[in-house]
Amino acid sequence: MKRYDTFKFRETYRDIAMEYVDYKHSLGFKYSYAEQSKVNSMLDFIYANSKSNPILALQSELVNTYASKKDNESARSLHARQSHIRQFAIFLNLRGVPAYVYPKKLVKITEDFVPYIFTKDEISRILRVADAIGPNKNKFVNTPHIYPAVIRVLYGCGLRVSEALTLKCEHVDLDNGILVIMNGKNNVSRLVPVSESLRQYLFMYDSKVERSRNPYFFPALHNERYSPTTILNQFKKLEKKANISPLSTGKYPRIHDLRHTFSVHALEQMICRGIDPYCSLPILSTYLGHKGIESTEKYLRLTKQYFIDILRFSHQDAEKIFPEV
């Protein structure tokens, strides 16, 4: 439940790790706790296997070993490791340390990932079990209120988990129903209107939460904010209790799929009101905080399939509504 911003690196390489994190920050990257965790794993490998003197004078053999595919590893995970060690070597060279830089051509990531779109019944079931949550093991009185409110904001506004958890009270205007998202992904700030039903719910939530000067709208203990990992873990438990079926991979849908679900349901609503799908895209793109409309276009394909699979439209009728992307 704690606020996590900086990874606690091992003392052996803490100085160089923090210098690298500061370097990334200076370039404008957020370089989250999760990213720092991956750097920690990389440095663990380097310090355990490097035969160079100094240790960080990375040899090609070491770098290539680290950048090689592990058993059953996805292309995305491998791409991330290759990128991390390449970027770290570039940083070392800038500091005057002769490190081998992994080639720029990293393993390709296929773009065939299809997010899970929750049905409205599944959303209702998840919210019902969330509303039944009691105090946690520390008897934290806010626990029963936090999770149901966070999930409603994620689904009702299409926010990223990090955007919801970093919301401060000063950025939540419940009188006008506006959330101010400060420096979201790609450093994009935006105003996010909320529905009237969600606005009223958040009014009720806000009246029940005990803050003790905690500035965050979803306050944790000790004036901290919730970590995304805490919310993700709780969401998986809620899915199991709500009898959400696991995917073919054996894993449950991700909490980030609430954002995708919001997007598809929002497009569905606009289309049912007679708004042309392509006229809807710029609106949705701005609302989601996308850099460009290209990032939003994928939801047209998902919405078309949603109309066919869930709303029982024929392929012929769906073709009339959705032009080819």
> What does 273-318 look like in DSSP terms, one character per residue?
TT--HHHHHHHHHHHHT-SSTHHHHHHHHHHHHHHHHTS---HHHH
Contact 26, 35 (CB under 8 A): no
**pLDDT the model gives residue 29:** 72
**pLDDT the model gives residue 316:** 53
* Model confidence, pTM: 0.64
193 forms beta bridges with 178
- Residue 178 in this model has a pLDDT that exceeds 60: yes
Residue 305's pLDDT band (cuts 50, 70, 90) = low
Residue 323's pLDDT band (cuts 50, 70, 90) = very low
**pLDDT the model gives residue 185:** 63
Radius of gyration for the alpha carbons in the chain, expressed in angstroms and rounded = 22
The pLDDT of 238-260, averaged and rounded, is 91
Mean pLDDT over each residue of the chain, to the nearest integer: 82
Q: Which helix (H) or strand (E) holds 90?
A: helix 75-94
Per residue in 79-116, pLDDT tens? Answer: 888 999 999 999 999 999 999 999 988 877 665 567 78
Place of tokens 């091992």: 10
In this structure, of 71-85, 130-144, 224-238, 248-262, the range with the lowest mean pLDDT score is 130-144
In this structure, of 84-98, 104-118, 182-196, 271-285, the range with the lowest mean pLDDT score is 271-285
For 72, list phi and psi in degrees, rounded to 5: 60, 20
Contact 106, 86 (CB under 8 A): yes
Contact 38, 80 (CB under 8 A): yes
Long-range contacts of 76-82 (CB under 8 A, 24+ apart): 76/109, 78/107, 79/106, 79/107, 79/108, 79/109, 80/38, 81/38, 81/42, 82/106, 82/107
Structure-token pair, residue 282 = 């710029």
- Considering only residues 310 and 255, tell me which one the structure prediction assigns the higher pLDDT: 255
**pLDDT the model gives residue 172:** 95
Return the amino acid letter for 29. Answer: F
DSSP secondary structure string for all residues of 195-217: -HHHHHHHHHHHHH---TT--BS
Return the amino acid letter for 12. Answer: T
